[in-house]
Amino acid sequence: MLLVENGHVITRDPNNPYLADGSVALDGDTIKEVGPAAVLREKYADAERVDAHGGVIMPGLVNCHTHIYSGLARGLSIKGCNPTNFLENLEQQWWKIDRNLTLDGTRASAYPTILESLRNGVTTIFDHHASYKEVPGSLFAIRDVVEETGIRASLCYEVSDRDGQEKCDQAIQENADFARWAHEQNERGNHMISGLFGGHATFTMSDETMDKMAEANNGLTGYHIHVHEGLNDLMDSRQNRGGIAPVERLLQHGLLGPDTLLVHCIHASPAEMEMIKETGTRVINNPQSNMNNAVGCAPVLEFFRRGIEVGMGTDAYTHDILESLKTFIVMQRHNAAMPNVAWGEDMTMLFKNNPEIATHFFGRSIGALKPGDAADVIVMDYPAFTPFSDENIDGHMLFGMEGRDCRTTIVNGKVLYRDREFVAFDEERIDAWTLEQAKKLWGTLNDRTY
């Protein structure tokens, strides 16, 4: 038994939303009880204690879209990289990186992504991977790191025609193999890893490739696909697909539905929005990445108006999902030229929809501190200098709290990060090995020694 105590408890459970001085009792991988600190301290007197030091005890955060393959890119400058549009950014930077990732490079990329997520209170990630130098076994290499570090993760491989038929077929097979393995694990009660079937974007996937994806998947799992990030999907559909809209292409090939995540959807037409809504497909917004890539502002307010479920991701621009929470509202208000919009949508995306998406794909109730839910708990250092109560929690989240406030991260009942130190694995060893792999990758990309 583990007792997280001595803090303000934000539960995200509407039946018991807030305790000014509360505790959370964890029994293995499950939340046993949430209640007043004095009561639980006496009731679970023999439990191991985790001291919140007067901070905020809350559910672990969920990031619904990130990219492990960019994990070694921090500080990297690739010779000749000077993109003036989204496609050039892919060609000059991201595709060059993934074309040079070995299996060791993939493992090394997973470590900083996961460690940074845990440091920022993110306990569940949905990753979308690419490593076209070595495709077979890449998702299983990431799986090994996921299991070592203890985070909850959904993995997929981005299928694309961009590197030829052999690599495309390998990507399809990697998705199918991993999705089958993950499904078997879930059937055995392992709710820590989920498999989706990844696709890059419609402008790099032929109709034949989409059919192969559907055949290989055979209804086993859902899809995780970029759509309408830049204008490339739209231009490709008009020039090369007889004018069939990108979302309609996905519909025709059976790739939409409640098990599918469409990422970005910035340029989706009203007709495509209706297809998304009618199929129950989910959309994932990544505000900081969209701004950084200068691709536009997704019509999230319209998605909500139409009843489309929208989650939030970071696209690996950051591993602090609370940064995305802050950026989203500013971006939407600037785009709408209205200072009174997007608050409700912002909070709904991160604190309601993201947990619902995670619950759907992992087969466990995730995202609230209530009996029976997965024991994913974080402690945030947050010395509030204004009144803090159940009436203004979201205001403190939006305007005060940051990922770096996280001091303790517990996933599936296991303390991974305690009082700002990793306790479940050797961070120093991991960092040293990751640095060596980063030097190899950078040297390959720039033909020099680091």
CATH code for the structural domain at 2-59+377-411? 2.30.40.10
pLDDT at 48: 97
pLDDT at 215: 98
> Is-contact 306 277, C-beta < 8 A?
yes
pLDDT at 363: 96
For residues 340-345, average pLDDT: 98
Cα 284 from chain centre? 9
CA dist list (Å): 190 to 117, 140, 183, 424, 448: 21, 16, 9, 19, 44
pLDDT at 433: 98
pLDDT single digits (tens) 19-51? 999 999 999 999 999 999 999 999 999 999 999
The structure tokens 């499904």 sit at 183
CA dist list (Å): 360 to 62, 127, 154, 373: 13, 16, 11, 13
Q: Tell me if the domain spanning 67-362 has CATH number 3.40.50.300.
A: no
> Is-contact 265 224, C-beta < 8 A?
no
pLDDT single digits (tens) 428-443? 999 999 999 999 999 9
Q: How confident is the model at residue 130 (pLDDT cuts 50, 70, 90)?
A: very high
Tokens of 76: 């990297």
State the first-to-last Cα distance of the chain, in angstroms, to the nearest integer. Answer: 47
DSSP letter assigned to residue 374: B
**Interatomic CA distance for residues 46 and 433, integer angstroms:** 39
pLDDT single digits (tens) 382-403? 998 999 999 999 999 999 999 9
CA atoms within a 13 Å half-sphere pointing along the CA-CB vector of 427: 15
Of 184, 166, 183, 75, the C-alpha closest to 438 is 75
Determine which helix (DSSP H) or strand (DSSP E) holds 59, and give its type and residue range: strand 56-59
pLDDT at 165: 98
One-letter amino acid of 7: G
**Interatomic CA distance for residues 439 and 436, integer angstroms:** 5
The rounded mean pLDDT for the chain is: 97
For residues 362-371, average pLDDT: 97
Percent of the chain past pLDDT 70, that is, above it, reads 100
pLDDT at 12: 97
CA dist list (Å): 258 to 198, 216, 278, 404, 438: 15, 19, 10, 33, 38
CA dihedral over 144, 373, 179, 222, signed as positive or negative: negative
> Between the CA atoms of 177, 182, 188 and 189, what dihedral angle is there, to the nearest 10 degrees?
180
pLDDT single digits (tens) 138-184? 999 999 999 999 999 999 999 999 999 999 999 999 999 999 999 99
* Domain range list for the chain: 2-59+377-411, 67-362
> Is-contact 111 71, C-beta < 8 A?
yes
Q: Is 280 left (phi over 0), alpha (psi -120 to 50) or beta?
A: left
pLDDT single digits (tens) 419-430? 999 999 999 999
